[in-house]
Structure formats: structure tokens, C-alpha cells
Structure 1
Amino acid sequence: MNYQWYPGHMTKARRAMQEDIKLIDLIIELVDARIPQSSRNPDIDELGRNKARLVLLNKSDLADPACNRAWTAWFQEKGIKALEINAQTGQGLKAIQGAVQEVCKEKIERDRRRGILNRPVRAMVAGIPNVGKSTFINSFAGKACTKTGNKPGVTKGKQWIRLNKGLELLDTPGILWPKFEDQSVGMKLAFIGSMNDEIIIMDELAIDLIAYLQEWYPSLLQERYSLAGGETPVQVLEAAAEKRKCYKKGGEPDLSRAAQLVTDDFRSGRLGRISLERPGTGNV
């Protein structure tokens, strides 16, 4: 199956980020903790190379805890602070303010030497569509946030949200998304539901997902669908159909319905905490 995903105009988005990045001190980059590499903004390292960086591993409650720790350490080795969060529940958000102060320490000290006191850190939140950017902003800001209006020299329409005395967010539309040459990136985005299921052949997607799970998380499959082990992906779908009573007329297992159920079980976390990427191992 060929995976393609173009939910917008790449050139326009990149130009917007180039303009906006001049206004900020910090880039807060949201990635999906299950696929931290494939869900990253492709140009963020180049465009943000002179800015402080903070990566938030969102939906970390759905990812393998050991992989979360490995990715946090991997980003740290790259000189990028990373935190595990769940934007929907608010888990991990309390640590962000301290992390902002840590990664922006040089900027804060430079301001102090210049006699600029109590100037808030200005941050941009970056992330591909469906990674949870809006949920994060709403959850992190809460009801106490206030829009401070257009600042001098800022393009009309851009708004600053003051979260507290020490931090402001630049409220802009979604900034970047991946245009991928590597089909495995598209496959992983499809696994987690970041691509429109209507353009996906769900039976094939589920087969690919099951093959990965059989390699890395066989016990989770066996427990969920009462498997003995050693089944082919199609046999796993048949077992899932049997378990969930998915039958066609005549009593045959409905593999298409079973494919959707298996995929939904993974996406929702009902299968367990699963990561699709590990530092240094390449793609699934």
C-alpha cells in the first residue's frame, strides 16, 4: 500500500514559520511518544537551530515506558530537553515551566545583564496535525490565559497568550507537517490514526501492524485475542473476529471489521503500552 499525506500547502507553512521564528525565544515541539521520529516536524532542526528547544513526548501513556525513557535520553544526547506528557489529562504539564526556565537560562541571564528584568520567555508550539498541539495549548494555558494583543512589529493577526509572568505562547495556526519519501513514515502515521482512514486499506494496515506486534509485543496480542502463539497475521485477524463475534452472513469471520477492531485496540491503548520506534533502530 502506498501512503501519501498532504493536508495543506508545504511552502506556505514553511514561510510562515520562518517569519514567526524571528519573534520567539523557544520552540516547544510536540511529537507522538509512540513514533517520536516519524511525527517530528521535518524542518524544525534547521529553522530552529539558534533557538532554545523543548520536545514534549505527548500521549506518553500509550507508549512503552522503557521506550519513553530511551527517547528522553536520546533527545538529551542531542542537546534537546524532552519531557513525557499527556496533554489530555494534564499529566507532566507541571514540569514544563521549570524546563522552560532551564533551557532558556542563557537568554534569561543575557536579559538580566542588559538590565531587562521579568521579560517573559516567548515560545512557539510546533507539531504536525493530530499530534495534540491544540489540546496541549488549551490544557497548559487553562482558563487563566489572556491574549495580550498584537505587539509592535508583529504581523497583524498573530496573538500572544500570556500563560504567566514568565511565559508567553505565540498563537499561530499549525506550522509544519511531513512530506515523506520513506513509506514506513506514512505507515506509522497511519497506524496511530494521523492519516484519514478512508484513504487507507484497513485490512492491509492491520496485517502490517500485527506483523510488527508479533515481533515486539507478542504477549500483548496473545493475551488480548486468546492466541497460542505462532499464528500468521491473517490467523490473528480470524481470532480477533472470533473473540469479538465479527461474522459475515453464513458465519464466516469478517476480517475487515476485525482489522478495524485490532487497529482501534492499538490506537486506544487497549492492547497495552506500545511504541513503534526505538532510538538507533531505524524504522519498524
Structure 2
Amino acid sequence: MSNAIQWFPGHMHKARKEIEEVLPKIDVIIEVLDARIPFSSENPLIKTFREKNAKPVVKVLNKRDLADPEMTQLWIDHLEQEQGVKAIAITTENLNEVKMITELCRKLAPHREDMGKNIRTMIMGIPNVGKSTIINSLAGRTVAVTGNQPAVTRQQQRINLQNGIVLSDTPGILWPKVENPHSGFRLAATGAVKDTAMDYIDVAFFTIEYLIQAYPELIKARYDLDDDLPESEIELMEEIGRKRGCLRSGGRVDLHKASEILINELRNGTLGHITMERPEMITEELVKVAADNERKAEEKAKKKEERRKRYLRNKR
């Protein structure tokens, strides 16, 4: 699993610079996350922006209707352990839930209302987490382009919500490189990055390996499988392919078609309420990523030293 996503188009670089210029004048950041992958959809660039400017944040776990409700509550509790953070889970199908975002903004910036001034907010998030739909719901009109593809919004705009809150919209930005390979697969599985960024079959194998452990009953029910699931992900994907008629000549399973079915049914919720990561899982992964980075740095330093010694020997 070395497929680290590197996807930083020019408009995202431009958006980053614009955000850094505007942020000092913002009172509250609204960060939209995908409730199915609250960590992997959390942009470390936004954390850097926040810490640099000491801004409170409302973390919105959108698409809660697709996520495991028990896991969603665990994530809300986990996120709110950080100072200056309020978290809420919503679905854009419920307007009352969306409007609660502005109430949390008021709680985080009461001094602005006390002064009779608008609360200046900035809404941010990676592509395809539903940010534009939330903006339109808050504004009560279509002010942001929506689409089920990453990177629809391309430029920043300011929207007066006419309720004491002004909202600055930003393009969805990814960070230059997704360090945690597991996060890369989760982003691909939920559609946060374009399908061309990673191989469909690799993403499906990663996904099914997790689902075997975390949600075996949902897999059995959806694909009408026996009590004993195949032990390996490839065997299970082949079984799913056979059940869905994804067959080539000679009766061989078309794994690409089977992979498309699995990923699409995960994305649209047909598989059930699924969360792809848990707080304790992320802690373990980050320890491993840090260890891997340290090992790579040591190897790089060792090679550099060997090159230096060879150079000195050749000079004698």
C-alpha cells in the first residue's frame, strides 16, 4: 500500500494563498468533513491555518446518513477534546441540522454579536464533502455550484447570510501529499479524489479487507453470502463478482467490474451505514507512518554519507 496520493492542481495552490491572506480577518472556521472518514477528510493545511491564526473551528461531519451512527458519536467526542473545537453531525437532507452550524458559530464568537457586528466565517473542506450544498442551504438560495465530482468550486466568494453571519466560501483543497497510505485509499473509496487518481481494484481490495473485519454482516446481507466469508479479499471480491454476474469469457470474474459495484454501493449507502476509520485505528496508523518516515530519513542520510565517502576516496 504505497499509493500515496499526490494531487495538487494549480487552482488549489492559488486557493491556499487566498485563504492565508483572508484568514486573519475571520472569526470562526467551518470545516466540512465526511462523517465516514473524519480523520482522512481532515485537511492538515487547515489545521496549520488555524493554529497560525488561533481560530476556533466548527467541524461539520456531513453525510452522517451514510455513516455508522455509533462511530459518528465517538468521533464527535474525540474531536471536541481539542480546545476551540465544536463538532456536529449533519445530513444536508435535514435543513434544521444544517442551520445548527450557525448557532455553533455564535457560541464560538459571542464577542462579535455583543459588538453588534457580523460574525465572519470561512467554510473549508476537501473536495466532494458536500460543502457547496451546505452553503446553498445556509443561504436559502443557490450561490455555490454543486456536483458529485471533486473540485467543482474554483474561486472564493463572500456570502451574507442575512442573519448576522457572513460566509467566505473557498475551493475544496487537498494537501500536496497524503502521507498516510490508508487515508489515500479511504479518500478514493468515498470519492474525495478523482477515480483516475488510484486503481479501482486496489481501492476495492483495501475496502473489502476492512469491511470483512468491521462490517461482515452488512457484506453477507448485501451480496447474499454464506455465514463463512472467504478469508482473503481477492476470494471475497471474486465471490461478489460471481453473485453480480461480472463474468468474462470462460467464466472468469471481471474484478474491475466487481470493484466498481462495491465502491459505488459504498458511496451511495446501499451497503449500509459504514464508517471507514475509528479514532484508535488512526492513532496506530500515525505511529506507523511516523516510524516509516523516520526510517526513510535515516536511509536517505545513510546513502548521502556513503556518497560523500565515495567522493572523498576517489579524490585521493
Asked if these proteins are the same fold (TM beyond 0.5), I'd say yes
Taking a change above 3 Å as real, the CA distance of residues 87 and 218 of structure 1, as seen in their structure-2 partners, is: same
Segment of structure 1 superposing worse, 23-32 or 36-45: 36-45
Partner of 1:34: 36
What are structure 1's unaligned runs of at least 5 residues?
Answer: 146-156
Alignment of 1:103-252 (within 5 A): 103-105=108-110, 107-108=111-112, 112=114, 116-117=115-116, 119-143=117-141, 159-175=157-173, 177=175, 179-228=177-226, 229-231=228-230, 232-252=232-252
8 A Cα contact 2:4 2:179, kept in partner: no
8 A Cα contact 2:43 2:175, kept in partner: yes
String of CA shifts for 1:154-183, please: whole Å, max 9, x gaps: xxx964311123211013434553522221
Taking a change above 3 Å as real, the CA distance of residues 33 and 123 of structure 1, as seen in their structure-2 partners, is: same
Is 2:45 aligned against 1:47?
no
- Counterparts of 2:254 and 2:281 in 1: how far apart (Å)? 35
- Counterparts of 1:256 and 1:45 in 2: how far apart (Å)? 37
State the shift of 1:89 in Å: 5.2
Query: Which amino acid in the other structure matches residue 86 of structure 1?
Result: T
Partner of 1:78: 82
Look up the SS of the partner of 1:161 in the other structure. strand
8 A Cα contact 1:125 1:170, kept in partner: yes
Is 2:305 aligned against 1:267?
no
Taking a change above 3 Å as real, the CA distance of residues 27 and 198 of structure 1, as seen in their structure-2 partners, is: same
State the shift of 1:71 in Å: 0.8
The two structures have a TM-score, normalised by structure 2, of 0.77
Partner of 1:149: none
Query: Which amino acid in the other structure matches residue 23 of structure 1?
Result: K
Partner of 2:279: 279
Partner of 2:255: 255
- Counterparts of 2:202 and 2:13 in 1: how far apart (Å)? 32
What are structure 2's unaligned runs of at least 5 residues?
Answer: 144-154, 287-316
8 A Cα contact 1:224 1:271, kept in partner: yes
8 A Cα contact 1:55 1:82, kept in partner: yes
Is 2:60 aligned against 1:56?
yes
Query: Which amino acid in the other structure matches residue 230 of structure 1?
Result: L
Segment of structure 1 superposing worse, 66-75 or 182-191: 182-191
Taking a change above 3 Å as real, the CA distance of residues 88 and 176 of structure 1, as seen in their structure-2 partners, is: farther
Taking a change above 3 Å as real, the CA distance of residues 219 and 120 of structure 1, as seen in their structure-2 partners, is: same
The two structures have a TM-score, normalised by structure 1, of 0.85
State the shift of 1:88 in Å: 5.2
- Counterparts of 1:178 and 1:85 in 2: how far apart (Å)? 28
Look up the SS of the partner of 1:60 in the other structure. coil
State the shift of 1:130 in Å: 1.6
- Counterparts of 1:91 and 1:158 in 2: how far apart (Å)? 26
- Counterparts of 1:178 and 1:34 in 2: how far apart (Å)? 22
State the shift of 1:14 in Å: 3.0
8 A Cα contact 1:88 1:136, kept in partner: no
8 A Cα contact 1:16 1:175, kept in partner: no
State the shift of 1:31 in Å: 0.8
- Counterparts of 2:267 and 2:136 in 1: how far apart (Å)? 22
State the shift of 1:45 in Å: 2.4
Aligned residues: 266
Partner of 1:94: 99
More helix, by proportion:
2
Partner of 1:4: 5
- Counterparts of 1:175 and 1:200 in 2: how far apart (Å)? 18
State the shift of 1:120 in Å: 1.4
Structure showing greater radius of gyration is 2
8 A Cα contact 1:13 1:176, kept in partner: no
Taking a change above 3 Å as real, the CA distance of residues 190 and 176 of structure 1, as seen in their structure-2 partners, is: closer
8 A Cα contact 1:41 1:126, kept in partner: no
Give every structure 1 segment of 4 or more consecutive aligned residues whose post-TM-superposition deviation is greater than 6 Å: none
